[in-house]
Structure formats: C-alpha cells, structure tokens
Structure 1
Amino acid sequence: MSYKYVNYLWDDAKAASLDFVSLLVYRSNLLGSDQRITNTGGGNTSSKIVEKDPLSGEDVEVLWVKGSGGDLRTSKKENFSSLYQSKLIDLQKVYGSQPERGLKTQAEDDMVGMYPHTTFNLNPRPSSIDTPLHSFLPGKHVDHMHPNAIISIAASRRCEELTKEIFGGEMAYVPWMRPGFELGLAMQEISRQQPGIKAIMMGQHGFISWDDDAKVCYTLTLDLIEKAAAYIESKYEAKGGHAGAFGGAKYQSLEEAQRQAVFAQILPWLRGQVSQQKRFVGTVQDDEKILRFVNSNDAPRLAELGTSCPDHFLRTKIKPLYVDWNPQSEDVAALKAKLAAGLEAYRADYAEYYNRCKHANSPAMRDANPTVVLIPGLGMVAWGKDKSESRVTAEFYNCAVEVMRGAEAIDEYVSLPQQEAFDIEYWLLEEAKLQRMPAEKELARQVHVVIGAGSGIGKEVAHRLVKEGAHIVCVDLNLAAAEATAKEITDKYGLGIGVAGTGISGCGPAIGLSANITDRASIRAALDQVAIAYGGFDSIEVTAGIFVPSDTTGHIPDDKWALTFGINVTGSYFVADEAYKIWKEQGLRGNLVLTTSANAVVAKKGSVAYDTSKAAANHLVRELAIELSPLVRVNGVAPATVVQGSAMFPRDRVIGSLAKYNIPYADDEATESLVSKLAQFYADRTLTKAPITPADQAEAYFLLVTNRLSKTTGQVITVDGGLHEAFLR
C-alpha cells in the first residue's frame, strides 16, 4: 500500500542486521515514533522467540513483550519482559481453577501476581497487564496499538457493524473488556473460531494484529490504520470537513497576541486553584485543531461525555472542564468568574462520581481538580506533576479530540461507561503501581526563576536546583547565555516524553529568557512568558549583579554609581514587586532569594558603589520579608569574593587585582592559573583557607528555597569562608 495517514519506515537492510530481540525493539520504535499509530506510553508489541534455556540448555519458546511502563518510541531491550511461553499458557489452568471467573473477580487481578513465576532468564522488567493478549494469540509477532482512527471506530455506537463494513473479514470484534487475562482468553477463542483473521477490534480501546513474520506484522498494522483513517476522512469531508467539524463554529478564536495576553493573566491564578492539594505544572495548546474543537457547537456535549480509551482518561481524568466563555463579548474578569464556578462544580461532580462508583476496597479519592481545561477562543490548558506529564496529558486529550472527530464523522461517539472508567482509574493494580513509584524529589512540581543564570553563581544555582526536581527558568540580560544554560540542563535531563510529533510546546525542565532587571516592563514580559510556559512559578533567585571599581583617582562616575544601584538594589526590588503580583494571584507560598555580599558589612577602599549597594540589598531583604509576608519568604545569600566561574572577574580584572595585591604573575600566564592564584589569595584571608566557589553559594540558595528552613525569612546567610571582618557587630 501507499500510505497517507501513517509513516512507513521499515528498512530491510537495517532489519536484516538485527537479532530477533533487537528486531522487536526496532519494530516497536518505528511504530511508537508516529503519534497517529499510538500515544506516548501506550500500546505494546511482542515476539515469540526460540532461545536456549539457561538451566536445561534446551530450546524453549520465549515471549518478549513490552513491560509495564515505558514508551514504544524510546524503548530498549531492557524495557521488555521475557517469559516462558509454555508457562504462560499453563496459567490458564490456574485461572480456570478459581471459584469464580469473570472480569472483575479477584482471580483476574491475582493472575498478574503469577507472571513473575513465568520469567525467563531472571529478567527484572515487570510484565504488562496486556501480556495474555500477546501470549494467547497464535502469531509469532503481535502489535497492540491505540491509533486515533481505529479508536474512532471502537468508540462509535455501531462499532461492530463498522468493523465489518470497513475491514470485511480482515478484522474480528471483541466488546469492551478490561485489559487482562479474561480479554486474552476471549481473543484466543476468537482466533480459534476464525482462523483466517489476524486482527481484532477492541471495543472502546484500540486493536491488535499479528503475523508470523515481523515485517508482515508491521505492514499489516499500518495497512489497517491506513484503511480506517481513509474511511473516516472520506466521511468527514462528505460532512463539510473542517467547517462542519463538531457541529461547526460557535465562537471565534482570539488573535495569537490576545490569546497570549489572556493566558498570562489567568494561568497563575488557575494554577493556584488546581494546586490546592499538590502543585501542578501547566502546558498551553492553542493550535488550529484544538481551537476548532473548543470553539465548536458540539464541544460542551462531547467534553461532558468524557474520553473513551482507558489510556486517555488515566491522564485526562474522566472528563475535562469546559468553560463556556464568549471571547468576543466577555472580559477576563468574566472568564475567571466562570472558571471559579466551573472548578467548584467539577470538584463536586468528581466527588459524586467517586462515591457512586467506589467499591468497599477502592483507594481513597484522588485530587478532584481537572487536569484538562478547555476555553473557547483560547485553547486548552493541561496540568501534570511536571512539564513532561502535562504535555502528555495535552497529547492524550488531543487524541481524544481526534477520536471524537472521527467517531462523529462516521457514526456517533460514545464514551466508556462511568463505572467501567472508575474501575480502571481506581484499579487496585494501578494503585499499587502508583504506590511503587519513587518518592518525588524535594523541589518536584516547582518552577524556579533564576535571574543571572547565564554564568557564575546563577548558572550553578540553576544546575543545583534542577537536580532536586525543579523546573528552571534561566533568565539573563544575555539571551544566548540564558539559553546556553537551559540547553545544558535539557541536554542532561532531556525534554521528557510527549514532545515528538505532537505540536505541543517542547520546553522541558528548563527554558532560557532575556530580561533587564532595571526595566519593569522587561521583567513583567519575562514573568508572563514563564506563566505561559509553566502556568506560574514558585521561587525566584536573583543572582544578577555588577561591580564597577573606582577609577585611578578613587572615584566612580555618576552614571556608574547609578548603574550599580540600579542593578544591585533597584532591580531586585522591581523583580520582587512584579513577582508578588503573580504570587498573590496564585495564592501559593513562594520564596525570593537575593544576592548581597560580605562587602555589605566590610568597608574598604576601591569599591564604594558596590559595597554600599550591597549594604542596601541587605536591608532590602529585611524590608521585603515584611512586605511580602506571609505568602513569600525573602532571604539573602552573602558571598565573599567568588573568582572561579564568575562573570565579574574577566582576565583583565583578575590581572588588576593580582597587581593591586602584589601577587607575582606572568603576562602570558594561562587565565585559569591567574584565577587560581587570586582565588587562593582571597581564601587565605578567611578562617577556612579554602577558595569559595559558585557551588558553595548554590548550596545556600537550595537550602533557603526548601522546607528545611521553612521558618526562616528576612535573613542573610553568609558564604564567605569565615571572613571575620564581616562578623555580626
């Protein structure tokens, strides 16, 4: 076939060079790389491979299947379970001996605990609940995918009829069943009764296909998706295409600049509203497809129905919050009022859903706030514990929108019954998986704005905080330097999942922005960008500063005096004043840490402007601690001279200082050597006799923004190596 709706990526030469397990990984990566084939983290693949038993040395058939968790696009060999196929088949006898047999019995869940007994070669990867689907079907190679086009059929009222109409005898049908052992048995029976078929439509879920040849299995998967997508698009165009989608447009989108301005106004407040139990990080999407949906006549009806595929609503919850706001006639105040009312109603509705559907042994109700908010004229806001999760949430609701578009074009969209949805969302096995997840890092779910992150202490602070789970906004007057620090972070930690091929904002744990802290408008513009990127922020660390030495006469020009105070004092005040407006909107506790200096309390010759500006910064910390309380803690870090890695010590200043203190050096000496000499000179004046580094300072910033010092505010912590001249007096 020629493909229009999926990507054919198979390379015969590449495939021929791979062993059997590597070929499975290759096939999986190809399928996972196309979001039209399966969503992030969704779907699974398998191959039945003959291998030597490590105990007996005999040939045995081993099922290699994508294990629990992971993503097909990025999976490697270690993401796959390996299980004795014969032992998996033997589990059918164990299951059959249980007193009850059915979808929701304890026996069904107990089978998951049996899979480790079938492990081949001590493979530690936990098995997926979909393992029986792969084991019990006859093909050597099996693909279980979640394509939007197929799910559109699976989520249609006439799913079984449409399956026959579109695929003829190529694909069988199984009604909705919760993934697991019973579904595997049902598929096994279908394949026995219909030996000619090699694919099954899974009601409300997706489809599964198989073959004894890996390439044929891959192409069969693509062929079936292509056929479904072509059928849907033909029906869609017949109903008016874009213009007729979702009942046509009810509202018009705001222009992009207007959308950005409104998002900047509402997102911090909205983040505060949905973060009442735990903090969330946001992702905004306002592309053509999502705007077409939120602006449509049918959006309220379809949004209320909720999603269909279990993979979708585990991220997006049972349904989104749709806010019926008219972007052409209502203002931002009206939008906030409607959001507030909508959130209150959503929480009450979610609690009612939980109480109506819960079982005696159900886990406690989880956060009742929505993870997806839909606003006409603006687009979608998705929330998650971090940027990666919020992007994936947005991606999944995009999939849900495409499913609804397809289902409505060919028939009528139907969602999963709420009790079935609840039994997936609060499945004890799912809860157990959540409980097994590692504890969140100390600064997880937080967004930190580091001003001066392009170099020196600021760069070190950015790297220190991201290690503890924080999202970092690197801000610097030099945009290239800010972006370079952000790139160092994303290169090390990655952008996270949910980026490739989605059209959703690609920023991950860090972004770089430019701002001039002596300019209020520049600060506000940067903070608005932070709101749009992450939904808001939690803490700000100001490390930007300037040192202008006196001239040869011992004086400093008036303009340099003003610049020194403008950056070292007034700039910090401007940042605090603008940031506090957003902190108040969020209503979430935050932190502000300013950089002062040991020089603030040590008078000496040659740095009068710098020293007095830092003395003012010390008192600014105390004043702001009062002004911003109780919502924001304000503290300072007072370094002594940091030479290594500091942007304030270029080579010429280092040489000037060496000459000033009569420290021997050579004009052609390496800069690193010169810096080391000067750093040791300053260290020798302290009690600890050790050079002070940016990393030493970063540790103080880290402590001040954690809950370790949660009752500390209005204080300045010195990190000066023990400079006794700066002792409190």
Structure 2
Amino acid sequence: MPEFKHVSYSWDDDLAAHLDPVERLVYRSNLLGGDQRVTNTGGGNTSSKLIETDPLTGEDVEVLWVKGSGGDLRTAKRENFSSLYQDKLRSLQTVYAGKPEKGLKSPAEDEMVGMYTHTTFNLNPRASSIDTPLHSFLPGRHVDHMHPNAIIAIAASKHCEELTREIFGGEMAYVPWMRPGFELGLAMEEIAKSQPDLKAIMMGQHGFISWDDDDKVCYTRTLAFIEKAADFIEAKYQARGGDAAAFGGAKYETLPEAGRKSAFAAILPWLRGQVSQQKRFIGTVQDDEKILRFVNSADAPRLAELGTSCPDHFLRTKIKPLYIEWNPQSEDLTALKEKLAAGLDKYRADYASYYETCKHANSPAMRDPNPTVVLIPGLGMIAWGKDKSESRVTAEFYNCAVEVMRGAEAIDEYISLPQQEAFDIEYWLLEEAKLQRMPAEKELARQVVIVIGAGSGIGKETAHRLVKDGAHIVCVDLNEEAAKATAREITDRYGVGIGVAGTGVSNCGPATSFAANITDRASIRAMLDQVALAYGGFDHICVTAGIFVPSDTTGHIPDEKWALTFSINVTGSYLVGDEAGKTWREQGLRGNLVLTTSANAAVAKKGSLAYDTSKAAANHLVRELSIELSPLVRVNGVAPATVVQGSAMFPRDRVIGSLAKYAIPYSEDEATESLVSKLAEFYADRTLTKSPITPADQAEAYFLLVTQRLSKTTGQIITVDGGLHEAFLR
C-alpha cells in the first residue's frame, strides 16, 4: 500500500473486486470526495469510459459515465452520474462553432451544453456537467478532476507554468485559465495528443486533471500528484519560517476563548440583521487555530482584498470577503460595530461597482451585495448562507482559500482570478438557469425558531412540525437530555447537512438543543447567546413549557406551589420575552413570540386554582408583550384544552387521579396508554367536535402564528380546544 502524509489512501482491493464497473467509479469517487484535502464539497468530478450494451441495437458501445451536474463526490451514488455515448460526444466537435474572439467566450460554448442531451445513453435523466468534454476528450479510460488546496496553491501562483515544470517535470502539462467547457476540453485534447506519455494537466487558477486506463492506478496517481505538490509547499513553507512567519507574521493577538464567545454572542444578531436586509441568512462561526492565524496576520488585509482564485471558491464566498481592521487588544465592541457598519457600506458599494463594470447586456440582475464571509482579527470568521449547511460549506470554501493563499505565498506570489472572469463565472447564464430551476424555498426557510419545552408533548410536536417547512429548530428544555433527544430525532430524519463543522455550538445542523430554566433570567440569556453562536441569531420563539400543580385533598395549594406555578407559567414567559426583546431589537428583523395559555384561563374549575389563575395572567401577558415588543415582534398565544396524549403534565398518577375524580372506570394494572385514551375520550366528549385534542393539533396553531399567514395578528389568543363552549368569551 502506498504511503502518503498529506492525503489518505483508502483503496480496498477486496471490496473493489466485488463491484461492477459503474460501482467501481462510484467507489473511487466516494474515496476521493471523502478527503477534503483532495477536493472540496461539491467540487471535482470523475469518469469512466465503459463498454455497455446498446439497448436498441444490442451491440457493444463505449459509454462515458461522468459525475453529473450538482451533487457531491463524497456522497455520490450511481444515480448521480450521467451516461453518454462516447462516439456521439466526440462527434460534437464537428458541431462546435469554433474559437471565440480574444477575451470573450464563444456563444457556442453555452449552446454545446444543450447538445449533450442528444448523446444520452439509455435515457439516463441525470443532467451532464459542463466538465463533460474534459473527460470525453482526454485519452484515459478513467479521469479524475480534483480541486486540492495544494494543487490550487500552484495554480493560483504568479509563475504557475514554471512551477508546474519545476515540481512535476514532464509528468504534468499546463493549460492557462479557461472557463470549464468545450473549448477547454479541446485544448486539453491537443495537449494530450502532443505529449502521449502525459498523465495530468495543471489548470491555471482552477485545479488539475489526471487519467489512466486502470481505475486504481488513476486513483493512486491522483493522490500522488497532490502529495508531491503538498511536499513541495511544506518544504518551502518551513524554509520561510513556518506558522510563525505565515502571511507576514502575526499583527494581532487572539482573544481568549471566553472572550471570543462573549464578543461573538454580542455582535452576531446585530450583524445578522445587517447582512439580511434582502434575505435572511444563517451563520457559522469558526475560530480555530488556522483561521485565526490568517485573520490575525499582517498580510490578511491585502490577501482578503485580492479575493479567491478558484471558481469553486468564490461561487460560495463571493469575489472577496469582508475584512475588518479591528484591534482586539485596544478597541471595544462598540468600535467593532462601527467598523463593521462602515465596512458593510463599502463592501456593498464595491460589489455594485464590480457588477456595473463587468456586466453584459444579458447579465442577470445584481444579486445580494452583502458579504458571505466576514473576517475579524482576534475573533475569527463568520460565514453566512441560506441555511446551516450552506453557511458551513461557505466556511469550508474560505478555509480552502486560506490554505491556497498560504501555499501560494510560500512558493511564489498569490494571484486571484481577474474580475471579469470572476464575474462571468458568478453571473454565467447557465448557472442562473440552474438557480431558476431550483424549487421554491419552504415557508420557514432561512428562519430560526426556539421551542422552549421541546423535550415532550406540545413542544416536541411543534419542533417536528416547524422543521418540515424549513425552519432551523432550537430545542430547549429544563431537561437537557429530553431536548437533545428531540433535536436528535430531527437530525436523524433530515441529516446535519454538509460542510466542515463549526466551532463548539456552531457545529449543528437543522436542529440543536440547549438546557434552560425559564424562571432564571441569566439562564435564558445564556441560552439566547448560545443560539447566536449556533446560527447567528433567531427569528421566533414558541414557549410551550408549563406546569400544573393540583390542589391538595383539602382543596388548598401550598404557597410555594402557588409561587412555582406563577413563576413558570407567567414570569417565565415574561422573562423570555423581555430578554429576547433585547436581541430582536439588536437584530432588527421581524419576529414572533408565541406563548402557551389554556382554555382554563377562561373557565374556573375546582382543583386547579393556581393553574387556571396563572393562565388567565398569561392571556393578559400576551396582550402586554404585544405592545411592549411592537412593531418588530408579534406576540400571540395558543390556548389548548386538556391535551393528555404525549403531555409531560399528565404522568400516570395524574391520569389515574383524573379518572377517579370523574368516576371513569379503570384498573390499577391497566396499561398507561389505555388509561390516557380513556381520559382523552372523556375530555373529547365535553367538546363540540367530540375529538381528542392532540399535540399535533396545537403544533398547527404554532406553525400558523410563526409564519406570515397571519401577519397582521398580534395580541390575540387562538384556542385549540375542540369547541369547549364553557370557554367561549363572554
């Protein structure tokens, strides 16, 4: 087995021997995509030219299987690969309209993408990648096109061609930057024809491509090229002083971890509001050693302004990040906010100028001019995306860009892609068409909802209901394990997304969990700060936590139980609203607060004096908070009738007590589920709809109130009680 230091060799002969040819291509792709030192998320593609039986003629034909448009090599399956007749692909060369004028891309280039469908083998529905000609026109039966940081560091160096010869000798040729497509495929074919012993080509500003007639050899050779590049870079890097001298050496010092978390928690909601002026963003924080080494360095402002070099990078990170020249040792957070505000204004103006300078007559409209990457000395990096997965991938790509700059500066001089070329990639009409074909975002996409009481009952059901429509869910409960269990159920079902993990609580997906005691203001604040670190901020809060303490056998309730009932059912909701209000105002984005009251708030009953009175107070708290938090936040309440099924407020002993109270026949050894069903049916019979009230019924009300469907409704209570006429308002 070959030994590598900078990449992982994972080929298993025994496993590969039992795979069919297409499965071997998938296997090779997964191995390459699983190592981020080989290629980034969603980047690169692989192919195999295989002999297949033509479904129409029954004859053997050569078919190119190549990773299709979109998808990720690490997780790719057979269905992610397109299949095309190789002879028909090559015949398209006679259709291609020729080379473009200097400095322009031929219109025929984009037209050729539509021609690939005419070469489809066996009605395969997977759309072909724009890189398809590269794989078809090169001679090897197996081709790997990768984006390793070590290789891109060479590709993004000022003297890339000379360095390619110095490092690889005659093993790897060089082609200057060309946008991926037919023209690049033809250029590579000419290079391969002129140098028949060649096995790889360095692609200026982009990556590299390698090939062989044996798939295992192709895989091993791909790794070997990356290893050779990394060895060369590391030797030069150490000779220049290593980490201590990286990026011109350190200019600023890193704040201690506690200080970084405190600072991020203080600025993130405000910053999220600033970058979310057009559409809301979800954030990922990264403050590990490597990113801090960069943001603290003397050269970071210069390199950040140059922007990224590889098209795969800046499609995620924009043409450049926003770097803030802030001194963490001598300036406070007020100064940081002022510099961020000024930096954002300048960034938007720069982006608008970039668009106006580079646009064509048929260019799509200018996209959101806000940065997706923000770099702050002493703190680290904040990446933004439409969801947690995208923000993590954005962070991953800028990490790749930093590693590329580190390598390029160690061996030569880092250069970025020219602005016009960058624009033509970012605003490529084919890319725009792909964006337009994407399904519409879900109703709660880009939004973060905190569900307090998510460990059981109505809260758990509400968390599951809201995530279905695209929300990021923060599961909060006094019982930390219960909150974790609900978050785990969500991530097990929906996955955690892709991309590198963030730091600490930022390492989360569509759901995360925290413990909090809503009767303790400090506990609430700590939880809200953790949410800021996880997602950048929040949009809505649903408070489903509550307590029911029945009167004792004499009809009284102890003073401490009365105080506890009001502390949880009333004061807790007030503290949540009051603390969250501070963050909502900082963020400046409209939100919703939904409290849980009860039908009992309007119905006096024997045996629930403290509970009923507390819920009546909660009803009025809804009205008061709707005034206090307006106009930014709407505040409403959901008033359930007795929800027995799945409720933490109805343990077995309370269910039995209620059955006895209402003289409903039961057996002491009867299953809890049966007892609950009897009590639920009893309560249902008291309503007009004659149906048991379930947590799912309540969850629909919470969903309705956090969406924009009732956007002009605030200070109101929605009852979900099955039609309990005793609770009708008088």
Q: TM-score range by the shorter chain?
A: over 0.9
Aligned to 1:448: 449
Instruction: Compute the displacement of 1:2 (Å).
Output: 1.6
Cα distance, 1:506 vs structure 2: 2.7
Residue number in structure 2 paired with 1:7: 8
Quote the residue 1:710 is aligned against: 711
Question: Residue 34 of structure 1 aligns to a residue in which SS?
Answer: coil
For residue 200 of structure 1, what is the amino acid of its counterpart? Answer: I
Instruction: Note the C-alpha offset of 1:667.
Output: 1.0
Q: Would you identify which runs of 4 or more consecutive aligned residues in structure 1 move more than 2 Å?
A: 96-103, 499-506
**3-state DSSP class of the match of 2:349?**
helix
Percentage of pairs with the same residue: 84
Against the structure 1 CA distance between its residues 225 and 98, is the aligned structure 2 distance closer, same or farther, given a 3 Å change threshold? closer
In structure 2, distance between residues paired with 1:293 and 1:74 = 30
Cα offset, 1:14, TM superposition: 0.4
- Matches of 1:148 and 1:592 in 2, distance apart? 45
Q: Deviations over 1:432-451 (max 9, x none)?
A: 01101100000000000000
1:96 Cα deviation from its structure 2 partner: 4.0
Which amino acid in the other structure matches residue 68 of structure 1? S
Q: Which structure 2 residues correspond to residues 391-430 of structure 1 after superposition, within 5 A?
A: 391-430=392-431
Instruction: Give the superposition deviation at 1:499.
Output: 3.5
Matches within 5 A, 1:164-183: 164-183=165-184
Shift of residue 253, structure 1, vs aligned partner: 0.2
Residue 649 of structure 1: aligned partner: 650
Q: Following superposition of structure 1 onto structure 2, how do residues 76-475 of structure 1 map, counting pairs within 5 Å?
A: 76-96=77-97, 104-475=105-476
Between the aligned partners of 1:464 and 1:214, the Cα distance in structure 2 is 46
In the other structure, the counterpart of 1:626 is 627
Residue 502 of structure 1: CA displacement? 10
**Secondary structure class of the residue paired with 1:183:** helix
SS of residue paired to 1:579: helix
Query: Using the alignment, how far apart are the partners of 2:616 and 2:653 within structure 1?
Result: 26
Deviation, 1:98, is 8.8
Where in structure 2 are the equivalents of 1:522-601 lying within 5 Å?
522-601=523-602
Contact 1:442 1:469 in 2 (8 A): yes
Q: How far off its partner does 1:235 sit?
A: 0.3
Work out the CA distance in 1 between the residues paired with 2:450 and 2:382: 21
Contact 1:474 1:485 in 2 (8 A): yes
1:597-616 matches, cutoff 5 A: 597-616=598-617
> CA contact under 8 A between 2:505 and 2:533: conserved in structure 1?
no
Write the distance in 1 (CA, Å) between the matches of 2:472 and 2:52.
Answer: 45
CA RMSD of aligned residues (A): 1.2
Q: Give the whole-Å Cα distance in 2 for the aligned partners of 1:220 and 1:525.
A: 51
CA distance in 2, matches of 1:612, 1:250: 61
- Do the aligned residues in 2 keep the contact of 1:486 with 1:512 (CA within 8 Å)? yes
Q: CA-to-partner distance for each residue in 1:587-624, whole Å, 9 max, x for gaps?
A: 00000000000000000100000000000000000011
Q: Deviations over 1:16-74 (max 9, x none)?
A: 00000000000000000000000000000000111011111111111110001100000
Q: In 2, distance between residues paired with 1:181 and 1:503?
A: 44
Q: Kindly tell me: are residues 99 and 421 of structure 1, through their superposed partners in 2, closer, same or farther at Cα, counting changes over 3 Å?
A: closer
One-letter amino acid matched to 1:364: A
Q: Secondary structure at the match of 2:667?
A: coil
| Distance in 2, Cα, partners of 1:97 & 1:468 | 48
Distance in structure 2 (CA, Å) of the matches to 1:175 and 1:69: 25
Secondary structure class of the residue paired with 2:714? coil
Q: How many Å separate the matches in 2 of 1:52 and 1:500?
A: 44
Aligned equivalents of 1:679, 1:103: Cα separation in 2: 72
Give me the whole-angstrom Cα distance separating, in 1, the residues matched to 2:99 and 2:685. Answer: 77
Residues 99, 180 of structure 1: CA spacing in aligned structure 2 closer, same or farther, 3 A cutoff?
closer
Contact kept, 8 Å, 1:84 with 1:120, in 2: the verdict is yes
Q: 1:606 to 1:504 in 2, by over 3 A?
A: closer
Q: Structure 1-normalised TM-score?
A: 0.99
Name the counterpart of 1:684.
685
Asked if 2 retains the 8 angstrom alpha-carbon contact of 1:452 and 1:543, the reply is: yes
C-alpha separation in 2, matches of 1:242 and 1:615 = 63
CA distance in 1: counterparts of 2:7 and 2:295, whole angstroms = 26
Task: State how far apart, in whole Å, the 2-side matches of 1:668 and 1:554 are.
Answer: 28
* Structure 1 counterpart of 2:630, one-letter code: S
Would you say how many aligned residue pairs link Structure 1 and Structure 2?
Answer: 729
Contact 2:518–2:575 (Cα < 8 Å) also in 1: yes
Q: Distance in 2 between matches of 1:192 and 1:99?
A: 22
Contact 2:172 2:202 (C-alpha < 8 Å) held by counterparts: yes
* 1:105 positional shift: 1.6
Separation of aligned partners in 1, 2:159 and 2:398: 23
State how 1:472-551 maps to structure 2 within 5 Å.
472-499=473-500, 505-551=506-552
Structure 1 residue 504: deviation in Å? 10
Report SS of the residue matched to 1:682: helix
TM-score, normalised with respect to structure 2: 0.99
Distance (Å, rounded) in 2 between the aligned partners of 1:149 and 1:389: 24
What residue ranges of structure 1 are gaps of 5+ in the alignment? none
- Partner Cα separation in structure 2 for residue 725 and residue 96 of structure 1: 79
